[in-house]
Amino acid sequence: MPTTVILGAGIIGLSTAHSLVQLAPPDHRIHLVEPAPQLFSSASGKAAGFLAKDWFAPAIAPLGTLSFDLHRALADRHNGRARWGYSESISYSLDRLREDDYSPARTDGAPSEVAVSGRNGSQGQGGLDWLLSGASRATTAESDVVEKSSESAHLEEANDVPRWLRARPDALQVISDKKSTAQVHPGQLCEFLLEQCLAAGVTLHHPARATKVLKGENSSDSVTRIHVEYLGLLAQTVGGRTRTVDIPCDNVVITAGCWTPQVYAALFPNASRIPRITHLAGYSVTFKSKHWSPIIRTSADPQAPKALNGATPDTGASSVPVFPESSPSHAIFTDAGGFAPEIFSRAVGDVWLGGLNPPGTPLPELPTDAEVDPAEVTRLLAVARALCGEDIELRRQALCFRPVSATGRPIIARMHEADLGDGVKPGGHDGAGGVYVATGHGPWGIALSLGTGRVVSEMVLGRATSADVSALARW
């Protein structure tokens, strides 16, 4: 029976496994291997969860549209608003956030206003120049999208304005409406995808690491296998031996994010070239604001969302936060001098702020080894209080790492056998090679996740892809 081993159980790996479950024949075996002791411990669990339909360069645009539509369809089918905070979103731009624009909080407890106006930067083509230069993500929105959104801005209901933000409504410029941007809680989405995969028979090896590709020692055993070593508390058997498993495989899909080059080199040490992936560190804070308060739904509700790792959400042991269907989330893009803050209100009842990407932060061996610099958190909190008031309540501070390719575009490719060297290689569905790589999504990993999973699963099965990703195969 055909078997696919997916190395990396973040949102790209989970999306691939989830799509394979839907598309592959019932006898197709699927394995997920994840070395980090805590699941979703980098961007898959700590990112903002912003989704966009048409903010991408031409090479990525078909994948962006496919993925946005898949996110919406999945949420419609499984009550995503309640389960992982899926919400339509309105995106705004604030041109400048200067220190002399800050005004003290009003005595009535509501956020004071900051006099800011205009958009930040010029229109871009959807690449990552904006990210690497410290500019705003808003520059990737095409001008016709901005014009259409601005025309419809006057039609928005009054309660669509982000009241939790210290800015006058006339200081905000709409850059995308509810039809083309949305919001999720990425950790809760990952929890849902994993739950669906496990229920469908996907095997999770965690924590564990794939170390080599091998074949049987005798000529009668031609099965290709992935050697997996368990880590942490699972590393040894009761007798003290190293716990390992050799998984038969026809396909290997590497979805290890920033750690893709290390995984690739370990499996194919004689490879003539290795995917060039660098890492971009990103700090964020998540906080509560009394001006962004959800309706409380009791946990007895079977559709109540789950917090990360099954924990009870912050609103209390017997309740979970959910906003009414008519309330959109908001995305705010601005400039704080030295970096470009991004602020997202989420339907789970919190506000996420990030955009601080210090270039010198080293990549740890595992995402759980990341060490947060308090000074960077302090910079974010200063912006948070300036924009949302002094009465915010910090709930989480995080450091995650996003994979960036040499071209700034994702790599979604079937590896040519010649590039893998002269070692053992899985044959794939047609015997011509079964190694696939999906990484390099940068800050768009959550947005492009479901589309990436769909096209990778179609590649594995030898089918035509639902979006043209041919330009992403060049690395």
Three-state secondary structure along the chain? Answer: CCEEEEECCCHHHHHHHHHHHHHCCCCCEEEEECCCCCCCCCHHHHCCCEEECCCCCCCCHHHHHHHHHHHHHHHHHHCHHHHHCCEEEEEEECCCCCHHHCCCCCCCCCCCCECCCCCCCCCCCCCCHHHHCCCCHHHHCCHHHHHHHHHHHCCCCHHHCCCCCCECHHHCEEEECCCCEEECCHHHHHHHHHHHHHHCCCEEECCEEEEEEEECCCCCCCCEEEEEEECHHHCECCCCCECEEEEECCEEEECCHHHHHHHHHHHCCCCCCCCCEEEEEEEEEEEECCCCCCEEEECCCCCCCCCHHHCCCCCCCCEEEECCCCCCEEEEECCCCCCCCEEEECCCCCEEEEEECCCCCCCCCCHHHCCCCHHHHHHHHHHHHHHHCCCCEEEEEEEEEEEEECCCCCEEEECCHHHHCCCCCCCCCCCCCCEEEEECEHHHHHHHHHHHHHHHHHHHCCCCCCCCCHHHHCC
Q: What is the pTM of this model?
A: 0.86
Q: Is the pLDDT of residue 182 over 90?
A: yes
Structure tokens, 167: 């800015």
| CB contact burial 447-469 (16+ within 10 A = b; e otherwise) | bbbbbbbbbbbbbbbeeebbbeb
Structure tokens, 147: 């014009």
pLDDT of residue 464: 98
Mean pLDDT across 279-294:
91
pLDDT (tens digit per residue) in 70-125: 999 999 999 999 999 999 999 999 865 544 443 333 334 444 333 322 223 333 34
Structure tokens, 386: 């300036």
- To 10 degrees, the CA torsion angle through 326, 65, 5, 306? -10
Q: From residue 171, how far is each of 113, 161, 255 by CA, in Å?
A: 10, 11, 41
Mean pLDDT across 127-144:
59
Mean pLDDT across 21-40:
97
| CB contact burial 362-372 (16+ within 10 A = b; e otherwise) | ebbebbeebee
pLDDT of residue 149: 47
Q: Is the pLDDT of residue 317 over 80?
A: no
Q: Phi, psi at residue 74, to the nearest 5°? A: -65, -40
pLDDT-derived band at 171 (thresholds 50, 70, 90) equals: confident
pLDDT of residue 170: 77
Mean pLDDT across 24-42:
97
pLDDT (tens digit per residue) in 339-379: 899 999 999 999 999 999 998 899 999 999 999 999 999 99
pLDDT of residue 240: 83
Q: Is the pLDDT of residue 325 over 90?
A: no
Mean pLDDT across 187-199:
98
Mean pLDDT across 296-309:
43
- To 10 degrees, the CA torsion angle through 438, 442, 445, 449? -30
Q: Do residues 288 and 436 touch, judged by C-beta distance below 8 A?
A: no
- Of residues 31 and 303, more confidence is placed in 31
Q: Is the pLDDT of residue 304 over 80?
A: no
pLDDT-derived band at 381 (thresholds 50, 70, 90) equals: very high
Structure tokens, 347: 């339907």
Question: Which of 207-221, 230-244, 355-369, 454-468 shows the highest mean pLDDT?
Answer: 454-468
Q: From residue 10, how far is each of 32, 218, 435 by CA, in Å?
A: 10, 36, 18
> What CA–CA distance (Å, rounded) separates 259 from 43?
13
Q: Is the pLDDT of residue 151 over 60?
A: no
pLDDT of residue 125: 42
Phi-psi region of 421 (alpha: psi -120 to 50; beta: other; left: phi over 0): left
How far does the chain reach from its first CA to its final CA, in angstroms?
Answer: 31
- To 10 degrees, the CA torsion angle through 162, 163, 167, 171? 50
Q: Phi, psi at residue 238, to the nearest 5°? A: -60, -30
pLDDT (tens digit per residue) in 438-447: 999 999 999 9
